[in-house]
Amino acid sequence: MKHVIEVNGIKLYAFHGCLPEEGKIGGNYTVDVRMETNFQRAAETDTLENTIDYVTVNAIVAEEMAIRSKLIEHVGYRIVERLKNTLKGLLKIEVKITKICPPINGDVENVAIIIEESFKKV
């Protein structure tokens, strides 16, 4: 059986980018987090301690997005590292960061990066 928890569409305003203006003006971002785990015990006991707390996921994403970086690739890496070092029972994690209306001299709705990492079963 496969158990997946998603926290999608985390909306944030952040100051990432290589251009100096991006550090001053900022922009809109969305972050999606997908985690494979085993929440069978939580399903049986109806206890939060036996699963991944969405509040923790959202807080980690917000904290890391608040730290300015030139590249969203770097922010994504930090988010994955924090999540995997904080959350117990992760089998796989996927983080997608979408930068809305990037300043790239074209009519582009968004750009995004996706980082996916799998872990050995413990």
Structural domain count of the chain? 1
The tokens for 47 are 């206890």
pLDDT score for 45:
96
Tens of pLDDT along the chain (122 residues) come to 889 999 999 999 999 999 999 999 999 999 999 999 999 999 999 999 999 999 999 999 999 999 999 999 999 999 999 999 999 999 999 999 999 999 888 899 999 999 999 987 64
CATH number for the domain harbouring residue 43: 3.30.1130.10
Structural tokens at position 50: 């036996």
Query: What is the spatial distance between Cα 92 and Cα 57, in angstroms, rounded to a whole number?
Result: 14
Looking at residue 121, its pLDDT comes to 64
Give the range of the structural domain holding residue 35, as residue numbers without chain letter: 3-118
Q: pTM for this one?
A: 0.94
Q: Tokens 């980690």 — which residue?
A: 60
Matching residue, tokens 């952040």: 14
Extract the tokens encoding 18.
């290589």
pLDDT for 120: 74
